[in-house]
Structure 1
Amino acid sequence: MSASRPYILVLYYSRSGATRTLAEQMVAGIETVAGIDARLRTVPPVSSTCEAVDPDIPAEGAVYATLDDLRHCAGLALGSPTRFGNMAAPLKYYLDSTSELWINGALIDKPATAFTSTGSLHGGQEATLLTMLVPLLHQGMVYAGVPYSESGLMETTSGGTPYGTSHVAGAASDRSVDDTERTLAHAQGKRVARLAMALLTMREDK
Protein backbone atom coordinates (compact mmCIF):
# COMPACT_ATOMS: atom_id res chain seq x y z
CA MET A 1 0.00 0.00 0.00
CA SER A 2 1.43 3.35 -1.07
CA ALA A 3 1.30 6.30 1.33
CA SER A 4 0.16 8.52 -1.54
CA ARG A 5 -2.64 6.27 -2.84
CA PRO A 6 -6.24 6.59 -1.63
CA TYR A 7 -7.53 3.84 0.64
CA ILE A 8 -10.75 2.46 2.06
CA LEU A 9 -10.61 2.09 5.82
CA VAL A 10 -12.04 -1.30 6.81
CA LEU A 11 -12.73 -0.76 10.48
CA TYR A 12 -14.19 -3.57 12.57
CA TYR A 13 -14.62 -5.06 16.03
CA SER A 14 -14.77 -8.83 16.42
CA ARG A 15 -14.91 -11.18 19.41
CA SER A 16 -15.29 -14.62 17.86
CA GLY A 17 -13.78 -14.00 14.43
CA ALA A 18 -16.79 -13.87 12.10
CA THR A 19 -16.83 -10.08 11.73
CA ARG A 20 -13.09 -10.19 11.14
CA THR A 21 -13.62 -12.74 8.35
CA LEU A 22 -16.18 -10.47 6.70
CA ALA A 23 -13.72 -7.56 7.03
CA GLU A 24 -11.05 -9.59 5.26
CA GLN A 25 -13.47 -10.33 2.43
CA MET A 26 -14.20 -6.60 2.19
CA VAL A 27 -10.46 -6.01 1.85
CA ALA A 28 -10.26 -8.61 -0.93
CA GLY A 29 -13.08 -6.90 -2.81
CA ILE A 30 -11.52 -3.45 -2.42
CA GLU A 31 -8.21 -4.69 -3.72
CA THR A 32 -9.79 -5.73 -7.05
CA VAL A 33 -10.30 -2.03 -7.88
CA ALA A 34 -7.36 -0.33 -9.56
CA GLY A 35 -5.89 2.79 -7.98
CA ILE A 36 -7.11 2.30 -4.41
CA ASP A 37 -5.95 0.28 -1.41
CA ALA A 38 -7.57 -1.23 1.69
CA ARG A 39 -6.45 -0.39 5.23
CA LEU A 40 -7.62 -2.96 7.80
CA ARG A 41 -8.00 -1.68 11.36
CA THR A 42 -9.76 -2.75 14.56
CA VAL A 43 -10.58 -1.14 17.92
CA PRO A 44 -9.67 -2.29 21.45
CA PRO A 45 -12.32 -3.75 23.76
CA VAL A 46 -13.97 -1.52 26.34
CA SER A 47 -13.30 -2.68 29.90
CA SER A 48 -15.65 -2.23 32.82
CA THR A 49 -12.56 -2.09 35.05
CA CYS A 50 -11.05 1.39 34.83
CA GLU A 51 -7.54 0.09 35.57
CA ALA A 52 -7.57 -2.41 32.70
CA VAL A 53 -5.34 -1.23 29.87
CA ASP A 54 -4.72 -3.14 26.64
CA PRO A 55 -1.34 -2.90 24.91
CA ASP A 56 -1.03 -0.32 22.15
CA ILE A 57 -0.64 -3.09 19.57
CA PRO A 58 -2.93 -6.14 19.75
CA ALA A 59 -1.38 -9.59 19.99
CA GLU A 60 -2.93 -10.68 16.68
CA GLY A 61 -5.02 -9.35 13.84
CA ALA A 62 -5.25 -5.77 12.63
CA VAL A 63 -3.71 -2.86 14.52
CA TYR A 64 -5.92 -0.34 16.32
CA ALA A 65 -7.39 2.52 14.32
CA THR A 66 -6.37 6.12 14.90
CA LEU A 67 -8.41 9.19 14.09
CA ASP A 68 -6.03 9.89 11.23
CA ASP A 69 -6.88 6.51 9.67
CA LEU A 70 -10.46 7.75 9.42
CA ARG A 71 -9.61 11.38 8.64
CA HIS A 72 -7.57 10.54 5.53
CA CYS A 73 -9.59 7.63 4.14
CA ALA A 74 -11.35 7.84 0.78
CA GLY A 75 -14.16 5.65 2.09
CA LEU A 76 -15.17 3.51 5.07
CA ALA A 77 -16.39 -0.05 5.61
CA LEU A 78 -17.58 -0.46 9.21
CA GLY A 79 -18.12 -3.87 10.80
CA SER A 80 -19.47 -5.01 14.15
CA PRO A 81 -21.22 -7.93 15.81
CA THR A 82 -24.74 -7.16 16.98
CA ARG A 83 -25.39 -6.03 20.53
CA PHE A 84 -29.15 -5.91 21.10
CA GLY A 85 -29.74 -4.51 17.62
CA ASN A 86 -26.87 -2.06 17.76
CA MET A 87 -23.12 -1.98 17.17
CA ALA A 88 -20.76 -3.21 19.88
CA ALA A 89 -19.61 -0.69 22.51
CA PRO A 90 -15.93 -0.63 21.44
CA LEU A 91 -16.81 0.51 17.93
CA LYS A 92 -19.34 3.03 19.25
CA TYR A 93 -16.68 4.33 21.66
CA TYR A 94 -14.33 4.94 18.75
CA LEU A 95 -17.01 6.73 16.72
CA ASP A 96 -17.93 8.84 19.74
CA SER A 97 -14.37 10.19 19.65
CA THR A 98 -14.72 11.60 16.12
CA SER A 99 -16.35 14.96 16.94
CA GLU A 100 -13.24 16.74 15.67
CA LEU A 101 -13.75 15.18 12.24
CA TRP A 102 -17.43 16.15 12.27
CA ILE A 103 -16.68 19.76 13.20
CA ASN A 104 -14.20 20.03 10.33
CA GLY A 105 -16.34 18.15 7.82
CA ALA A 106 -13.51 15.71 7.18
CA LEU A 107 -15.76 12.84 6.06
CA ILE A 108 -18.36 14.73 4.02
CA ASP A 109 -19.13 13.11 0.63
CA LYS A 110 -17.02 10.01 1.29
CA PRO A 111 -18.75 6.65 0.70
CA ALA A 112 -19.42 4.35 3.64
CA THR A 113 -20.87 0.92 4.12
CA ALA A 114 -21.43 -1.49 7.03
CA PHE A 115 -21.47 -5.20 7.82
CA THR A 116 -22.35 -7.33 10.84
CA SER A 117 -22.55 -10.78 12.41
CA THR A 118 -25.35 -12.07 14.64
CA GLY A 119 -25.91 -15.06 16.87
CA SER A 120 -29.27 -15.96 15.32
CA LEU A 121 -31.15 -15.35 12.09
CA HIS A 122 -33.41 -12.77 13.72
CA GLY A 123 -30.81 -11.50 16.18
CA GLY A 124 -30.92 -7.89 15.05
CA GLN A 125 -28.65 -7.87 12.01
CA GLU A 126 -30.74 -5.38 10.02
CA ALA A 127 -31.34 -3.14 13.05
CA THR A 128 -27.61 -3.15 13.75
CA LEU A 129 -26.77 -2.10 10.20
CA LEU A 130 -29.38 0.65 10.24
CA THR A 131 -28.14 2.04 13.55
CA MET A 132 -24.53 1.85 12.36
CA LEU A 133 -25.29 4.12 9.43
CA VAL A 134 -26.73 6.88 11.66
CA PRO A 135 -23.37 8.32 12.85
CA LEU A 136 -22.05 8.01 9.29
CA LEU A 137 -24.91 10.17 8.01
CA HIS A 138 -24.18 12.71 10.75
CA GLN A 139 -20.63 12.85 9.37
CA GLY A 140 -22.01 13.64 5.92
CA MET A 141 -20.93 10.35 4.39
CA VAL A 142 -22.70 8.75 1.42
CA TYR A 143 -24.08 5.35 2.41
CA ALA A 144 -23.81 2.38 0.03
CA GLY A 145 -25.51 -0.93 0.79
CA VAL A 146 -25.66 -4.11 -1.28
CA PRO A 147 -27.82 -3.83 -4.44
CA TYR A 148 -30.12 -6.64 -5.56
CA SER A 149 -27.97 -7.08 -8.65
CA GLU A 150 -26.01 -9.30 -6.24
CA SER A 151 -27.83 -12.60 -6.65
CA GLY A 152 -26.68 -13.78 -3.23
CA LEU A 153 -29.27 -11.53 -1.60
CA MET A 154 -32.01 -13.72 -3.07
CA GLU A 155 -30.20 -17.01 -2.55
CA THR A 156 -28.92 -16.69 1.00
CA THR A 157 -30.54 -18.74 3.76
CA SER A 158 -28.51 -17.07 6.50
CA GLY A 159 -26.95 -13.62 6.39
CA GLY A 160 -27.14 -10.96 3.71
CA THR A 161 -29.23 -7.78 3.52
CA PRO A 162 -29.49 -4.76 1.19
CA TYR A 163 -28.27 -2.62 4.10
CA GLY A 164 -24.98 -4.49 4.20
CA THR A 165 -23.53 -7.98 4.37
CA SER A 166 -24.42 -9.98 7.44
CA HIS A 167 -23.56 -13.39 8.86
CA VAL A 168 -25.35 -15.73 11.27
CA ALA A 169 -22.72 -17.22 13.57
CA GLY A 170 -25.00 -19.36 15.74
CA ALA A 171 -25.55 -19.23 19.49
CA ALA A 172 -22.10 -20.73 20.15
CA SER A 173 -20.43 -18.68 17.38
CA ASP A 174 -19.48 -21.95 15.71
CA ARG A 175 -20.98 -21.40 12.27
CA SER A 176 -18.39 -20.33 9.71
CA VAL A 177 -18.97 -17.55 7.19
CA ASP A 178 -20.44 -19.34 4.16
CA ASP A 179 -19.67 -18.85 0.49
CA THR A 180 -22.67 -16.60 -0.17
CA GLU A 181 -21.78 -14.32 2.73
CA ARG A 182 -18.18 -14.17 1.54
CA THR A 183 -19.28 -13.29 -1.98
CA LEU A 184 -21.58 -10.53 -0.73
CA ALA A 185 -18.85 -9.03 1.46
CA HIS A 186 -16.40 -9.17 -1.44
CA ALA A 187 -18.89 -7.41 -3.72
CA GLN A 188 -19.67 -4.83 -1.05
CA GLY A 189 -15.98 -4.00 -0.65
CA LYS A 190 -15.59 -3.69 -4.41
CA ARG A 191 -18.60 -1.40 -4.63
CA VAL A 192 -17.45 1.05 -1.95
CA ALA A 193 -14.00 1.18 -3.59
CA ARG A 194 -15.49 1.91 -7.02
CA LEU A 195 -17.70 4.64 -5.56
CA ALA A 196 -14.73 6.17 -3.74
CA MET A 197 -12.73 6.31 -6.97
CA ALA A 198 -15.66 7.88 -8.83
CA LEU A 199 -16.15 10.54 -6.14
CA LEU A 200 -12.43 11.30 -6.07
CA THR A 201 -12.47 11.79 -9.84
CA MET A 202 -15.47 14.13 -9.59
CA ARG A 203 -13.70 16.26 -6.96
CA GLU A 204 -10.54 16.43 -9.06
CA ASP A 205 -12.54 17.54 -12.13
CA LYS A 206 -14.11 20.49 -10.31
Structure 2
Amino acid sequence: MMTKILVLYHSSHGSVANMAAEFAETITVNGGEAVVRVFKAREPHDVEVTKADLVACDGLAFGTPTRFGMMAAEAKTFWETTSDLWLKGQLIDKPACVFSSSSSMHGGNEATLLNLSLPLLHHGMMLLGVPYDVPELLSSQTGGTPYGASHVAGSQNDATLSATEVKICRAAASRLLRVAEKLK
Protein backbone atom coordinates (compact mmCIF):
# COMPACT_ATOMS: atom_id res chain seq x y z
CA MET A 1 0.00 0.00 0.00
CA MET A 2 1.38 3.40 -1.02
CA THR A 3 2.30 5.98 1.57
CA LYS A 4 -0.40 8.65 1.52
CA ILE A 5 0.70 12.28 1.89
CA LEU A 6 -1.94 14.97 2.27
CA VAL A 7 -0.91 18.17 0.48
CA LEU A 8 -3.17 20.75 2.09
CA TYR A 9 -3.09 24.41 1.12
CA HIS A 10 -4.75 27.76 0.51
CA SER A 11 -3.58 29.96 -2.35
CA SER A 12 -4.62 33.52 -3.21
CA HIS A 13 -2.56 34.36 -6.30
CA GLY A 14 -1.25 30.95 -7.39
CA SER A 15 2.14 30.81 -5.69
CA VAL A 16 1.13 28.40 -2.93
CA ALA A 17 -0.86 26.32 -5.46
CA ASN A 18 2.32 26.03 -7.56
CA MET A 19 4.28 24.96 -4.50
CA ALA A 20 1.60 22.38 -3.63
CA ALA A 21 1.83 21.05 -7.20
CA GLU A 22 5.61 20.59 -6.79
CA PHE A 23 5.04 18.72 -3.52
CA ALA A 24 2.37 16.49 -5.09
CA GLU A 25 4.42 15.71 -8.20
CA THR A 26 7.52 14.88 -6.17
CA ILE A 27 5.54 12.58 -3.87
CA THR A 28 3.96 10.79 -6.84
CA VAL A 29 7.23 10.45 -8.80
CA ASN A 30 8.85 8.91 -5.72
CA GLY A 31 6.17 6.26 -5.29
CA GLY A 32 3.83 7.90 -2.81
CA GLU A 33 0.19 8.86 -3.12
CA ALA A 34 -0.39 12.61 -3.07
CA VAL A 35 -3.86 13.61 -1.87
CA VAL A 36 -4.28 17.29 -2.74
CA ARG A 37 -6.85 19.28 -0.80
CA VAL A 38 -7.74 22.94 -0.23
CA PHE A 39 -9.46 24.70 2.64
CA LYS A 40 -11.94 26.49 0.39
CA ALA A 41 -12.67 25.42 -3.19
CA ARG A 42 -12.09 28.24 -5.67
CA GLU A 43 -11.55 26.29 -8.89
CA PRO A 44 -13.72 23.52 -10.39
CA HIS A 45 -11.00 20.89 -9.77
CA ASP A 46 -10.48 21.87 -6.11
CA VAL A 47 -11.44 19.34 -3.44
CA GLU A 48 -12.08 20.68 0.05
CA VAL A 49 -10.31 19.00 2.95
CA THR A 50 -12.17 16.98 5.54
CA LYS A 51 -11.00 15.88 8.94
CA ALA A 52 -11.14 12.33 7.59
CA ASP A 53 -8.38 13.31 5.11
CA LEU A 54 -6.13 14.21 8.06
CA VAL A 55 -6.86 10.96 9.87
CA ALA A 56 -6.25 8.86 6.73
CA CYS A 57 -2.91 10.41 5.72
CA ASP A 58 0.52 9.07 6.62
CA GLY A 59 2.06 12.56 6.42
CA LEU A 60 1.06 16.18 5.83
CA ALA A 61 2.45 19.04 3.74
CA PHE A 62 0.60 22.21 4.78
CA GLY A 63 0.89 25.64 3.16
CA THR A 64 -0.71 29.07 2.97
CA PRO A 65 0.35 32.54 1.91
CA THR A 66 1.57 34.81 4.68
CA ARG A 67 -0.93 37.10 6.33
CA PHE A 68 1.19 39.48 8.40
CA GLY A 69 3.30 36.54 9.58
CA MET A 70 0.29 34.30 10.18
CA MET A 71 -1.59 31.61 8.28
CA ALA A 72 -4.51 32.47 6.01
CA ALA A 73 -7.87 32.72 7.79
CA GLU A 74 -9.25 29.80 5.76
CA ALA A 75 -6.64 27.50 7.28
CA LYS A 76 -7.07 28.83 10.81
CA THR A 77 -10.85 28.36 10.60
CA PHE A 78 -10.37 24.71 9.60
CA TRP A 79 -7.80 23.93 12.31
CA GLU A 80 -10.17 25.37 14.90
CA THR A 81 -12.59 22.54 14.08
CA THR A 82 -10.10 19.75 14.82
CA SER A 83 -10.39 19.54 18.62
CA ASP A 84 -12.10 16.16 18.32
CA LEU A 85 -9.05 14.77 16.50
CA TRP A 86 -6.80 16.30 19.17
CA LEU A 87 -8.84 14.73 21.99
CA LYS A 88 -8.48 11.30 20.36
CA GLY A 89 -4.79 11.81 19.48
CA GLN A 90 -5.45 10.89 15.85
CA LEU A 91 -2.56 12.87 14.36
CA ILE A 92 0.11 11.98 16.91
CA ASP A 93 3.44 10.89 15.38
CA LYS A 94 2.49 11.72 11.79
CA PRO A 95 5.29 13.63 10.02
CA ALA A 96 4.51 17.06 8.62
CA CYS A 97 6.15 19.99 6.87
CA VAL A 98 5.02 23.52 6.04
CA PHE A 99 5.37 25.94 3.12
CA SER A 100 4.47 29.57 2.45
CA SER A 101 4.64 32.51 0.05
CA SER A 102 4.92 36.27 0.55
CA SER A 103 5.11 39.34 -1.66
CA SER A 104 8.50 40.50 -0.39
CA MET A 105 11.74 39.00 0.83
CA HIS A 106 10.99 40.14 4.37
CA GLY A 107 7.23 39.70 4.06
CA GLY A 108 6.82 37.25 6.93
CA ASN A 109 7.53 33.83 5.42
CA GLU A 110 9.55 32.57 8.39
CA ALA A 111 6.99 33.83 10.92
CA THR A 112 4.20 32.25 8.87
CA LEU A 113 6.03 28.92 8.67
CA LEU A 114 6.36 28.93 12.44
CA ASN A 115 2.68 29.91 12.76
CA LEU A 116 1.66 27.05 10.44
CA SER A 117 3.60 24.70 12.70
CA LEU A 118 1.64 25.50 15.86
CA PRO A 119 -1.52 23.42 15.26
CA LEU A 120 0.64 20.56 13.99
CA LEU A 121 2.71 20.55 17.17
CA HIS A 122 -0.44 20.73 19.31
CA HIS A 123 -1.71 17.65 17.49
CA GLY A 124 1.52 15.79 18.29
CA MET A 125 2.75 15.70 14.70
CA MET A 126 6.47 15.43 13.96
CA LEU A 127 7.59 18.62 12.25
CA LEU A 128 10.22 18.38 9.50
CA GLY A 129 12.19 21.37 8.30
CA VAL A 130 14.56 21.76 5.37
CA PRO A 131 18.04 20.63 6.46
CA TYR A 132 21.19 22.36 5.30
CA ASP A 133 22.23 19.38 3.21
CA VAL A 134 19.89 20.93 0.62
CA PRO A 135 22.47 23.18 -1.12
CA GLU A 136 19.83 25.53 -2.54
CA LEU A 137 19.00 26.64 0.99
CA LEU A 138 22.37 28.40 1.16
CA SER A 139 22.26 29.87 -2.33
CA SER A 140 18.66 31.05 -2.56
CA GLN A 141 18.12 34.71 -3.42
CA THR A 142 14.34 34.31 -3.05
CA GLY A 143 12.46 31.75 -0.97
CA GLY A 144 13.64 28.88 1.16
CA THR A 145 14.21 28.58 4.90
CA PRO A 146 15.17 25.84 7.36
CA TYR A 147 11.59 26.09 8.70
CA GLY A 148 10.07 25.08 5.37
CA ALA A 149 9.87 25.84 1.68
CA SER A 150 8.89 29.38 0.73
CA HIS A 151 8.40 31.62 -2.28
CA VAL A 152 8.83 35.36 -2.77
CA ALA A 153 6.29 36.55 -5.33
CA GLY A 154 7.35 40.20 -5.53
CA SER A 155 5.14 43.25 -5.80
CA GLN A 156 3.49 41.89 -8.96
CA ASN A 157 2.51 38.61 -7.22
CA ASP A 158 4.47 36.48 -9.69
CA ALA A 159 3.38 32.90 -8.98
CA THR A 160 6.29 31.44 -10.98
CA LEU A 161 8.66 29.60 -8.67
CA SER A 162 12.38 30.12 -9.13
CA ALA A 163 14.51 27.06 -9.91
CA THR A 164 15.92 27.26 -6.38
CA GLU A 165 12.44 27.41 -4.82
CA VAL A 166 11.36 24.38 -6.88
CA LYS A 167 14.39 22.39 -5.68
CA ILE A 168 13.66 23.29 -2.06
CA CYS A 169 9.99 22.25 -2.44
CA ARG A 170 11.08 18.96 -3.98
CA ALA A 171 13.65 18.33 -1.23
CA ALA A 172 11.05 18.99 1.48
CA ALA A 173 8.51 16.72 -0.24
CA SER A 174 11.05 13.92 -0.70
CA ARG A 175 12.09 14.11 2.94
CA LEU A 176 8.47 14.06 4.11
CA LEU A 177 7.72 10.98 2.02
CA ARG A 178 10.92 9.18 3.17
CA VAL A 179 10.13 9.78 6.84
CA ALA A 180 6.46 8.81 6.41
CA GLU A 181 7.51 5.57 4.70
CA LYS A 182 9.88 4.72 7.55
CA LEU A 183 7.21 5.40 10.16
CA LYS A 184 4.45 3.54 8.38
Q: Normalized against structure 1, the TM-score is what?
A: 0.86
CA RMSD of aligned residues (A): 1.3
**In 2, Cα distance between the equivalents of 1:58 and 1:84?**
22
Distance 1:175 1:98 in 2: 30
Aligned to 1:117: 101
For 1:59 and 1:166, how far apart are their aligned partners in 2? 23
Map 1:1-206 → 2, pairs under 5 A = 5-34=2-31, 36-44=32-40, 58-174=42-158, 176-200=160-184
The structural deviation recorded for 1:173 is: 0.5
Larger radius of gyration: 1
> Percent sequence identity over matched residues?
44
Q: CA deviation at 1:32?
A: 3.1
Q: Separation in 1 of the partners of 2:37 and 2:155?
A: 26
The Cα of 1:11 is off from its aligned counterpart by: 0.1
One-letter identity of the residue aligned with 1:15: S
Take 2:42 and 2:116, find their aligned partners in 1: how far apart are those partners?
24
**What is the deviation of 1:71?**
1.1
**Alpha-carbon distance in structure 2 between the residues aligned to 1:93 and 1:11:** 14
Q: Distance in 2 between matches of 1:174 and 1:72?
A: 34
Aligned with 1:31: secondary structure? helix
Is the 2:4–2:59 Cα contact (8 Å) retained in structure 1?
A: yes
The Cα shift of 1:175 comes to: 5.3
The total of aligned residue pairs comes to 184
Task: State the shift of 1:174 in Å.
Answer: 2.5
How far the C-alpha of 1:29 sits from its partner, in A, is: 1.7
CA offset at residue 30 of structure 1?
Answer: 1.3
Q: Deviations over 1:75-105 (max 9, x none)?
A: 0000100000011000111111111111111
1:123 and 1:104 mapped to 2: Cα distance?
36
CA deviation string 1:15-68 (max 9, x = no partner): 10000000010112212333x311011011xxxxxxxxxxxx643343111111
- Matched-pair contact (CA < 8 Å) for 2:6–2:34: yes
Name the amino acid aligned to 1:159. Answer: G
**1:141-183 Cα shifts (integer Å, max 9, x gaps):** 0000111111110111010001000000112212521111011
Q: Cα gap change, 1:86/1:17 in structure 2, threshold over 3 Å: closer, same or farther?
A: same
CA–CA separation in structure 1 for the residues paired with 2:154 and 2:98 = 20
Rounded to whole Å, the distance in 2 between the matches of 1:61 and 1:121 is: 31
- Contact 2:38–2:46 (CA under 8 A) maintained in structure 1: yes
